Structure 1
Amino acid sequence: MEPLFYMEYKESRKIVLEMFIAYYKYQNLKAWGPFKISDIKAKAEEKTQKHWKEIKMISRKERTVQVEFYEDSFSCVTGDVKQEYRYDELEAICETDTTFVLVAGKKRKKDAFLGLKKGSVKGRSLADLKAFLLEKCPKITKITYLE
């Protein structure tokens, strides 16, 4: 089956840092912080350094991130790791200037926070993907911008 939307990009340290910045901004939103913006950047840099080192130990070559959105579910493949989600698992959709974020909730073993690179939607627009997700995700009524 052909995906309705497709995203693809190379994983980089910069993207990982942007994902962690978005993650800590999301924590602020949920009142798990509150962090100052300088705290967010420092915590994100620290986490990125540790995570990037782990990634390099797992795979010495550059990994590709591929996200496919279908009618009833979507999948995210990073290197050799594949994760699948149903739209009813998503509890929030957020974005920053550079990152598009999908947050799956407590039905899974742990919360899943997927930070995806904006501008990586192939063949369609990010606006079309946002409208599709708002239609498909029963718990979500808006996309939250993380300042």
Structure 2
Amino acid sequence: MNLQRSRALGFTLLEVLVAAVILFSCVMSITLVYRTSLLSAEKAIGKLQQTSIVPSTLKLVQLEMRKNNQPEIGQIIEGNGEQFDIPYHFNAEVIQLASPPDKLDYSTGVTEKHPNKFVLYKVTLEIGIRAKLIYEYNEIAWL
């Protein structure tokens, strides 16, 4: 009777080791899931910060392009800047020059040609430091 009673009071070493292995593996898997979700959240915050400055950066790029008073096809305008501690860099290449439609003077019957007033740029905008976001688009400016 004494022998059965002492066995019922505690766990064997093997049972304790198995329980410890199960506990540590659960803790490790929870730690990995937490770390992965933390890294994903940081990456998402970084992308959100980068994309939040895009509208205001586009306005600055437009202003720089409109400063160009004598555009020529193939001409490249470059610029750098920083907004909210996020750097940006842009290249704008003149790809086409155009004028408004010809105007007909009804009294004389002569068509009046206009000089080139519209400029089409191909713009490449890079935003960020390590993980750069790159935008390519066409922009029209006028003189």
- Tell me whether the two structures share a fold, i.e. TM-score over 0.5: no
Bigger relative contact order (CA 8 A; separation at least 6): 1
More helix by share: 2
Whose radius of gyration is greater, 1 or 2? Answer: 2
TM-score, normalised on structure 2? 0.21
